[in-house]
């Protein structure tokens, strides 16, 4: 009898809650949620045809890293600025044979996480699905593109894709992961700051003046990526907006939901990395720098509050 793989999901927010729920529903793995407060069951709302259905998923949870044992897979689903706080979990969950999939925004996942995982293999993951945490024990999945997750087409990526086979999440294997990672960053660099600063969902991106601002943000980001050696198409800003408009205007972004809840904003991995790499490569980024300045001020005010 084949041993059941153990999958530990660190962080059961909008992304981690959906991933854990989808994996647990198929009953193939031992899925463990690593969180601050125990929950059971986890309720997953997901598309079913043209409707949404709610599924209660029995889920084992741990609230203390000292209770954890090495797992076959670790899905790190915290925000980027919470990575250091997840270090005690990673130390206990990882061994040389563990695979760590980093479901975080940005483009530097491996460099950020590799020092924390005791020699385990680290793979970056691009997340496209829209997850929303409705309550501590309830998450909602919405799908807006042809795939929900993208990974590199290598041994680790193919193993990750097999992990999610028969789940609602569709995994794309790509030979050009770096380009796709930057393209996801382009989308996030527009949608997240604007929705967070305006306190509006993605319908705000339909405004003509917001689109003009978005194009300026994207032109800077594309110039930074090219200076960093990324191969991109001539029409990257148009591609980014076309992708943004595939999402319903009623959808929020992770930064929007964090602003509403008074949580710290994930600004350094989005606007911050564009500004930083722009400085390093001699590319001016005044629009992204303005967003970064405003969002840092919002973060500081939230911290004082």
Asked if residue 56 has a cis previous peptide bond (ω within 30° of 0), the answer is no
Can you tell me whether residue 150 is helix, strand or coil?
A: strand
Asked if residue 41 has a cis previous peptide bond (ω within 30° of 0), the answer is yes
Burial-class residue 7 by CB neighbours within 10 Å (0-12, 13-18, 19+).
buried
Cα 292 to the center of its chain, rounded Å: 19
Can you tell me whether residue 54 is helix, strand or coil?
A: strand
What does the block give as tokens for 204? 């705000």
Residue found by looking up tokens 């490569």 in the block: 281
What does the block give as tokens for 53? 């259905």
Q: Are 252 and 195 in contact (CB under 8 A)?
A: yes
User: What is the distance between the alpha carbons of residues 117 and 91, in angstroms, rounded to a whole number?
Assistant: 6
Pick from 292, 179, 290, 271: which is nearest to 221 by CA?
271
DSSP 80-136: GGGTGGGHHHHHHH--TT-EEEE--SSS-HHHHHGGGSTT-EEEE-EE-SEEEEEET
User: What is the distance between the alpha carbons of residues 181 and 157, in angstroms, rounded to a whole number?
Assistant: 14
Whether residue 175 lies in the annotated active site: no
Residue 168's region, left for phi above 0, alpha for psi from -120 to 50, else beta, is: alpha
Residue 51's region, left for phi above 0, alpha for psi from -120 to 50, else beta, is: beta
Among the options 79, 91, 175, 184, which is catalytic? 184
Q: Catalytic site residues? A: 184
């Amino acid at each position: 009898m084949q041993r059941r793989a153990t999958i530990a999901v660190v962080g059961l927010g909008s992304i981690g809650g959906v991933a854990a729920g989808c994996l647990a529903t198929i009953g193939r793995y031992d899925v463990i949620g690593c969180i601050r407060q125990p929950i059971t069951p986890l309720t997953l709302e997901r598309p079913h045809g043209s409707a949404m259905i709610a599924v209660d998923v029995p889920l084992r949870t741990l609230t203390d890293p000292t209770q954890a044992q090495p797992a076959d897979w670790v899905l790190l689903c915290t925000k980027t600025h919470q990575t250091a706080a997840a270090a005690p979990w990673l130390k206990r969950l990882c061994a040389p044979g563990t695979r760590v999939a980093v479901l975080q925004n940005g483009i530097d996942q491996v460099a950020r996480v590799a020092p924390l995982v005791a020699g385990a293999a680290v793979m970056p993951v691009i997340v496209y699905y829209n997850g929303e945490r409705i309550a501590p024990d309830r998450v909602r999945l919405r799908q807006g593109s042809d795939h929900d997750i993208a990974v590199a087409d290598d041994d680790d990526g193919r193993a990750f894709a097999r992990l999610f086979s028969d789940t609602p999440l569709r995994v794309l294997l790509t030979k050009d992961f770096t380009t796709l990672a930057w393209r996801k960053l382009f989308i996030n660099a527009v949608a997240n700051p604007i929705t967070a600063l305006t306190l509006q969902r993605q319908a705000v991106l339909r405004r003509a003046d917001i689109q003009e601002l978005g194009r300026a943000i994207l032109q800077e980001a594309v110039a930074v990526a090219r200076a960093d050696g990324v191969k991109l198409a001539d029409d990257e800003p148009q591609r980014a907006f076309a992708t943004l408009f595939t999402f319903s205007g009623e959808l929020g972004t992770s930064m929007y939901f964090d602003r509403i809840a008074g949580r710290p904003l994930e600004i350094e991995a989005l606007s911050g990395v564009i500004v930083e790499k722009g400085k390093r490569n001699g590319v001016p980024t005044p629009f992204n720098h303005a967003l970064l300045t405003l969002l840092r001020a919002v973060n500081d005010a939230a911290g004082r509050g």
